[in-house]
Structure 1
Amino acid sequence: MKQDLALVMALASESKGLFEQENIAVHYSGIGKVNAAFKAFEIIQKTQCKTLLNLGTAGSSVFNAHELVEVTTFVQRDMDVSPLGFEVGVTPMDPHFPSAIQLEPYFQDLPKGICGTGDNFEVNLPKVPCNLVDMEGYALAKVCKKLGVRLISVKYITDGANETAHLDWEDNLLLGAQKLLGLYQSI
């Protein structure tokens, strides 16, 4: 599987250089949905991969810190066109992917989650039902679906998506990178 797979993470701080030390090629998208969408498109075009593996960090008020969670559904927690009568999380006039994007599970032993993606560092309960939050996943999923590439996404829970999230995220990056590297090596 690894020969048809490309690995994407948002930031080098999420890998802490551990993947590079093991000679694993990592593509970094940068923060946010626009950067993630552009990088996913670029990776797929350049590598012709059949699977894009997204490893990264997320906050959650449901899952425990230090837990690995496989995302099986992505939603947009910041898409809000409710003044025009649309539900929060729904992209108006998008006939293919108006709200949730489903992914086929890959890891049998990991808990499964619904990830709310948005262009903000979430410290409150999102308006869209989800049990973990990130800033890139929905965009990666949408590009992959449109191009017919499988996306597998696993998030390391760094924080409780609350008022101390920014501190907890920073403090837990190394342990997260270690756990994500171990998971990658098990594929």
Structure 2
Amino acid sequence: MNADVALIMALPNESKGLFEQAGIDVHYSGIGKINAAFKAFEVIQKTDCKTLINLGSAGSSHFDAHSLVEVTTFVQRDMDVSPLGFAVGVTPMDDEIPADIHAQPHFDHLPKGTCGTGDSFETGIPKVSCNLVDMEAYALAKVCQKLGVRLISVKYISDGANDTAHLDWEENLLVGAQKLLALYQAHF
């Protein structure tokens, strides 16, 4: 693997040990934006990587279950300071980083998506415009943007972000890990 590249995932449950069995070093952030931001910063500082690759699961009522989607736009679905006159998703007084963070596409063959990140397991319609949801990607994108590191993020659609999402997510993680490993081995 290229020393300029580091791989980050939220949980060992999302890799099912397959990456480690293949000899691939994975950094696990834990769940949520704070854990993701801290681990991304730590990984970038320790490895001096130029590209951070984020693989993981996401929910979507837009994309087909079991598909892989490259995230090219990242938004916060739970930043809501609207009572003070700010649009949902906008961090007040943070002019340095836009509310919508855009990443350069890497894969020609994958559909592109806008990921709404929040510290909740989404089972309904987010307050911001997005077509897939997770709990870490925006934080990773913001850290990468601040540190000048490229982020490549691919999500396996594990569930429909609906009332059975918690059951579907767990049930589909092995298939997701297999698909994400195959993609990683073919391209990195």
Q: TM-score, normalised by structure 1?
A: 0.99
2:109 matched residue in structure 1: 109
1:131 matched residue in structure 2: 131
What is the CA distance between 1:4 and its match in structure 2?
Answer: 1.0
Paired residues in the alignment total 187
2:14 matched residue in structure 1: 14
2:49 matched residue in structure 1: 49
Q: How does 1:78-157 map to 2 (within 5 A)?
A: 78-157=78-157
Q: Distance in 1 between matches of 2:172 and 2:152?
A: 22
What is the CA distance between 1:97 and its match in structure 2?
Answer: 1.6
Q: Is this contact kept in 2: 1:92–1:98, CA < 8 A?
A: no
Q: Distance in 2 between matches of 1:168 and 1:86?
A: 35
Structure 2: tracts of 5 or more residues without a match: none
Moved over 6 A (4+): none
Q: Distance in 2 between matches of 1:184 and 1:54?
A: 10
Amino acid at match of 2:25: A
What is the CA distance between 1:87 and its match in structure 2?
Answer: 0.5
1:27 corresponds to 2:15: no
Structure 1: tracts of 5 or more residues without a match: none
| Matched position secondary structure for 2:161 | coil
Q: Distance in 2 between matches of 1:140 and 1:161?
A: 21
| Matched position secondary structure for 1:172 | helix
What is the CA distance between 1:3 and its match in structure 2?
Answer: 2.6
1:65 matched residue in structure 2: 65
What is the CA distance between 1:98 and its match in structure 2?
Answer: 3.6
Q: Distance in 1 between matches of 2:101 and 2:172?
A: 28
Q: Distance in 1 between matches of 2:128 and 2:168?
A: 23
CA displacement, residues 62-116 of structure 1 (integer Å, 9 cap, x when unaligned): 0000000000000000000000000000010001224100000000100000000
Amino acid at match of 1:73: T
| Matched position secondary structure for 1:3 | coil
CA displacement, residues 124-166 of structure 1 (integer Å, 9 cap, x when unaligned): 0000000000000000000000000000000000000000000
Amino acid at match of 1:157: I
1:38 matched residue in structure 2: 38
| Matched position secondary structure for 2:3 | helix
Q: Distance in 1 between matches of 2:2 and 2:183?
A: 13
| Matched position secondary structure for 1:2 | coil
Q: TM-score, normalised by structure 2?
A: 0.98
What is the CA distance between 1:57 and its match in structure 2?
Answer: 0.2
Q: Distance in 1 between matches of 2:3 and 2:69?
A: 24
